[in-house]
Structure 1
Amino acid sequence: MSDQLLKGFAEQIQGAVQAKQLLRITGSGSKDWLGGELKGTPLSTKDYQGVMSYQPDELVITVKAGTSVKEVESILAEKNQQFSFESPHFGANATIGGMVGAGLAGPGRVSAGNLRDFVLGAKIMDGQAQIMNFGGTVMKNVAGYDVSRLMPGSFGTLGLLLDVSIKVLPKPAASATVATQITQAEAIQLMNLLASQPWPLSASCWQGDGSGTLHLRLSGAKAAVQSAIQTFGQKYGMKVIDEDQATIFWNDLKEQKNTWFNESSESPLWRFAVASTSEPLDLPGTTLLEWHGGQRWWKGQLDAESAKKIAFRANGHASIFRASNKNQAMLSSLKDNPLTSPLAIIQDRLLKAFDPHGVFATGRLA
């Protein structure tokens, strides 16, 4: 079955080359709204499913691109393991290929790292229907540049991801969430202070206007979590949140389903990636902060130039993450920060090497 699917992929790519047509790689379509305008004939990976190998003792799993993320997470959970970067699904049928292609990470990124950091190897089919293998199933197995880590965030513009090997981690022995009322400026200072100390912080979130609620997730050894709960309660007045409520809170934050994201749906959702210690941004209304202040969400009308200036003052950049209409979608560029000239040259060479005929040049990253 797999050989037939691979043959079908190759024929579709070769046909597109001959017809000078674009192909748009797609899984479940759960992230079609993200990135530039959809172009090209769909090349679906949905039927290319299955876990190729899973080595719990080695903390690595190799999966086909069309496999359901939910299914893989369930398999990992049986061995008390997880994807620690907590990539959002944004849909019940999200696939591993879409997860890697989008390259997004959730609340856990602040402690565990980005999705790209966990990709060990990949097998792809390039724009000439050639199959290529990169990396492997261990961390130190690459001489030179690790091409497999170009796939996260590429949105299918480099080639068709077939299989990917991902490092997984054990679930923490203990976890708890504490919360307190605090101003945004105080929250930024406190989050960064605690992050610089040996506390088991695995996620953080503040939401509000001038004043709001700070949530901190603690994950690690039981003694470390209990010590943090006691200290944070005494020094900062933080209270422990019910475990079930905390699970719902962090999942809704990851999937952008909580009340804050659902309000004012007529306004675009802006993402500001800034230095975590930056002061509160000059934005009216409510803001939601993640990653100890490094990722800041805001909903409202703002022209691109003003957003750029606000982000620049905080040593960062801004982009529209979710547009509220088609006109705004044109501004919804994933190229948050323009490439420098040397990097632009490297990117151009990579695109030409992997896709010389421009079969996958859909402009999703433009």
Structure 2
Amino acid sequence: MTTPLEEITARVRAAAASGQPLRIVGGGSKDGYGQALAGEVLDVRGLAGIVSYEPSELVVTVRSGTPLAELEAALAERGQCLPFEPPHHLPHGDAAQPSRATCGGMLAAGLSGPARASSGAVRDFVLGLTLLNGRGELLRFGGQVMKNVAGYDVSRLMAGALGTLGVVTEMSLKVLPVAPAEATLRFGWSQQDALRQLHAWGGQPLPLNASTWQAGEGLTLRLRGAVAAVDAACRRLGGTPLEPAAAAAFWQARRALRMPWADVGQARDLWRLSVPQTAPVLDLPGEQLVEWHGGQRWLAALPERADTVRARTQAAGGSATLFLAAAGERSGARTAFFDPLSAPLARIHRALKASFDPAGIFNRGRLYPDL
């Protein structure tokens, strides 16, 4: 009897020989993210289970088809967590339904939650992985400790690659203990005042963990760390404390990428803008929500304003991703959901694709139409 890995390997080798594109799918929770969905479905949910977990070493090794909720539950039993708070759903998903997210999808999408600015991104916690490339070869990169990389760090390259370079079959992740104390404060400031204050706080020894600014609510700030540090920061910063239940619901909504605009994905596009934290308030055609101490800004804008959004974001030193297109806009009418690549970067992308997936069978066109 063949194993799930053997079956997937056989599918990959057959597809490489025929040139048949494959669409790698786990739970399908991130299907709305990226340029296009093309190819025969390659279901990787059979690659499931926690291979090893060493709480004292803060390392877990898990197969890519493992439900993300299962991994987080196992970590929670030992008072540990994934500090980057990966989202389980995209904005159009029903957060009331059980999570379909898998660990492989978490890595492939490379998306991080509210704590990203202080705790790091998905890629920062990838220690090593096993990859099935486009030739059907099983390759191992990295290991189970931080200081194990010599040369190019291929393991972290897979974070955000949307499965275009191969099938990640297994990964080792660094985990951290849950913080002993947490508090959420709210300040009724304008976006300009909130950004100014976040920049000032950023140079001080404060346990800042996450922040969100949105119109009508002002700045919501989460503190995490030692009990004494959080208590002292609350006394120093002021603001209005949120009750624990209300605070938990607020941050869960942010982690689930639930936006305050009901028409995103319908009448308006949802943009994810990555800019320097020190960037000022951006003059953009739509409504904004600001996270990551100013480094991530969400924008709801009409589809015809796409060129303006990209140009003004790039002028601020950032990049713009069309995260969720308005209804009818994902059929190929646009050239790219991600910022167009410069010529040198395009050459690097194509060289990597040719090295890992020479037949171009994996998630064809998911990142860019020609990759």
Shared fold (TM-score, shorter chain, > 0.5): yes
Say which SS state the counterpart of residue 326 (structure 1) adopts: coil
How many percent identity over aligned positions? Answer: 42
- 1:347 positional shift: 2.4
**Alpha-carbon distance in structure 2 between the residues aligned to 1:96 and 1:340:** 33
Helix, strand or coil at the partner of 2:189: strand
Pick from 335, 338, 348: which aligns with 1:335? 338
Q: Which residue of 2 aligns with 1:216?
A: 221
- Quickly say closer, same or farther: Cα 1:349–1:295, change in 2 above 3 A: same
1:303 alignment partner, SS class? helix
In the TM superposition, 1:1-366 aligns within 5 A as: 4-90=3-89, 92-208=99-215, 212-233=217-238, 238-257=239-258, 260-262=260-262, 265-284=266-285, 286-301=287-302, 302-328=304-330, 330=332, 331=334, 333-336=336-339, 338-341=341-344, 343-360=345-362, 362-366=364-368
The superposition leaves residues 45-75 of structure 1 with CA deviations (integer Å, 9 ceiling, x where unpaired) of 1121100000111111000000000010000
Work out the CA distance in 2 between the residues paired with 1:224 and 1:217.
Answer: 13
CA distance in structure 2 between the partners assigned to 1:98 and 1:279 by the alignment:
33
Whether the 8 Å contact between 2:134 and 2:357 is mirrored in structure 1 is yes
Q: CA 1:67 to 1:332, structure 2 compared with 1: closer, same or farther past 3 Å? A: farther
Residue 262 of structure 1, CA deviation: 3.4
Q: Is the 8 A contact 1:183 1:212 kept in 2?
A: no
Structure 1 residue 332: Cα displacement: 8.2
Deviations 1:74-133 (A, max 9, x none): 000011100001110116110000000000001010101110011000001111111110
5+ long unaligned stretches in structure 1: none
How far 1:145 sits from its partner (Å)?
1.1
Quickly say closer, same or farther: Cα 1:286–1:306, change in 2 above 3 A: closer
Change beyond 3 A, Cα 1:337–1:222: farther
What letter is aligned with 1:161? V
Please tell me whether the aligned partners of residues 54 and 60 of structure 2 are also in contact (alpha carbons under 8 angstroms). Answer: yes
Distance of aligned partners of 1:329 and 1:246 in 2 relative to their CA distance in 1, 3 Å threshold: farther
- Give the 3-state SS of the residue equivalent to 1:296 in structure 2: strand
The answer on whether the counterparts of 1:155 and 1:365 sit within 8 Å (CA) in structure 2 is yes
Gaps of 5+ in 2: 94-98
Report SS of the residue matched to 1:182.
coil
Distance (whole Å) between structure 2 residues aligned to residue 104 and residue 334 of structure 1: 15
For residue 223 of structure 1, give the secondary structure of its aligned residue in structure 2. helix
CA distance in 2, matches of 1:359, 1:263: 35
Native 8 Å contact 2:322 2:338 kept in 1: no
- Give the Å deviation of 1:200: 0.2
* 1:304 to 1:335, Cα distance in 2 relative to 1, 3 A: same
| Distance (Å, rounded) in 2 between the aligned partners of 1:71 and 1:111 | 25
TM-superposed deviation, 1:18:
2.4
| Cα distance in 2 between the residues matched to 1:329 and 1:113 | 34
Q: By how many angstroms is 1:261 displaced?
A: 4.2
Alpha-carbon distance in 1 for matches of 2:45, 2:230: 41
Whole-angstrom CA distance in 2 between matches of 1:34 and 1:50: 25
User: For residue 73 of structure 1, what is the amino acid of its counterpart?
Assistant: E
Q: How many residues align?
A: 357
CA contact (8 A) 1:14 1:128 kept: yes
Alpha-carbon contact 2:179-2:226 (below 8 Å) kept: yes
2:145 partner amino acid: V
Query: Would the alpha carbon gap of residues 334 and 198 (structure 1) be closer, same or farther in structure 2, given more than 3 Å must change?
Result: farther
- Provide closer, same or farther for how the CA distance between residues 309 and 285 of structure 1 changes in structure 2, counting only shifts above 3 A: closer
User: Secondary structure at 1:161's aligned position in 2?
Assistant: strand
Q: Name the Cα RMSD after superposition.
A: 1.7
Q: C-alpha distance in 1, partners of 2:233/2:185?
A: 10
Rounded to whole Å, the distance in 2 between the matches of 1:165 and 1:333 is: 32
Quote the offset at 1:193 in angstroms: 1.1
Could you say if the C-alpha distance between residues 94 and 206 of structure 1 is closer, same or farther in structure 2, counting changes exceeding 3 Å?
Answer: same
Give the 3 Å change call, closer, same or farther, for CA 333–222 of structure 1 in structure 2. farther
TM-score by length of 1: 0.93
Partner AA of 1:309 in structure 2 = A
Shift of 1:313: 2.7
The one-letter amino acid of 2:3's match is Q
Task: Name which of structure 1's ranges 69-78 and 16-25 shifts more when overlaid on structure 2.
Answer: 16-25
CA distance in 2, matches of 1:198, 1:279: 23
User: What amino acid does structure 2 have at the position aligned with 1:262?
Assistant: A
Aligned partners of 1:323 and 1:332 also within 8 Å: no
Structure 1: distance between partners of 2:253 and 2:269 = 19
Residues 322 and 332 of structure 1 are in contact (CA less than 8 Å); yes or no, is this contact kept in structure 2?
no
Tell me which amino acid in the other structure corresponds to 2:112. A
